[in-house]
Chain A
Amino acid sequence: GDSVTQMEGPVTLSEEAFLTINCTYTATGYPSLFWYVQYPGEGLQLLLKATKADDKGSNKGFEATYRKETTSFHLEKGSVQVSDSAVYFCALLNTGGFKTIFGAGTRLFVKA
């Protein structure tokens, strides 16, 4: 079945450091890919998405590129801030599917 694997956390960075959170997926067909973020005490919210191969999703300085050849959707940000401290979830929704498949989540701590 479809699945999502993302790097284990926690990830601890200093402010202004470069961030990469790896995400790979297994799916039949051509899924849409998502990154969600969960700030402390809140529900998840969509950070960015990509619907087909080679698409780049971007938002708030975060980017991820849909790589079909490597089945990956790694999240990157050039310079993190303390306010980026949160849990990040990679997810996929397959064509014709009704349920989103979430990764296990990666907790990010950014130190001032």
Chain B
Amino acid sequence: EADIYQTPRYLVIGTGKKITLECSQTMGHDKMYWYQQDPGMELHLIHYSYGVNSTEKGDLSSESTVSRIRTEHFPLTLESARPSHTSQYLCASSEGNKGSYEQYFGPGTRLTVT
């Protein structure tokens, strides 16, 4: 069983609010990822990190930002939420720098911006 956690699981918030989606893993993995999942279920990589103090933008442009101050923690922040940010956000982690390492996913945060 994967030890990767996301909070909150569900969030309904008004336009213009600042929000932080939390993601933590207890596996000591170096690599962490944030995906946005659209209603058609396709995954879009929005941020990733190779390790502490490393963050990179993913394939899908996003107004969100991330930080990686500790190995186990990879929070995602939206400074000013908009209805277009309504989506499912999935956090994942994997070990090592190369190889056949699979990704471990958290349960997701479903965000609704009204």
The A-contacting residues of B in range 43-66, CB under 8 angstroms, are: 43, 45, 48, 50, 58
Enumerate chain B residues within 8 angstroms of A89, measured Cβ to Cβ: 43
Enumerate chain A residues within 8 angstroms of B75, measured Cβ to Cβ: none
A49 at interface by CB-CB < 8 Å: yes
What residue in chain A is nearest B48 (Cβ atoms)?
A99
A23 at interface by CB-CB < 8 Å: no
Residue interface mask B83-114, A partner, CB < 8 A = 1: 00000001010100111111111111000000
Task: Tell me how many residues of A have a C-beta within 8 Å of chain B.
Answer: 25
A17 at interface by CB-CB < 8 Å: no
In terms of DSSP, what is the predominant structure of the interface of chain B? loop
The B-contacting residues of A in range 55-84, CB under 8 angstroms, are: none
The number of chain B residues touching the other chain, given as a range, is 20 to 34
Cross-chain contact A32 with B100 (CB below 8 angstroms) = yes
Cross-chain contact A43 with B102 (CB below 8 angstroms) = no
Distance, CA A88 to CA B2, complexed state (A) = 18
A46 at interface by CB-CB < 8 Å: yes
> Would you give the shortest CB distance from B22 to chain A, in whole angstroms?
14
Known contacts A43-B92, A99-B33, A105-B43; 19 additional CB pairs below 8 A are: A34-B102, A36-B103, A38-B41, A43-B6, A43-B90, A43-B108, A44-B92, A44-B103, A45-B105, A46-B104, A49-B100, A87-B41, A95-B98, A98-B48, A99-B58, A100-B94, A104-B40, A105-B40, A105-B42
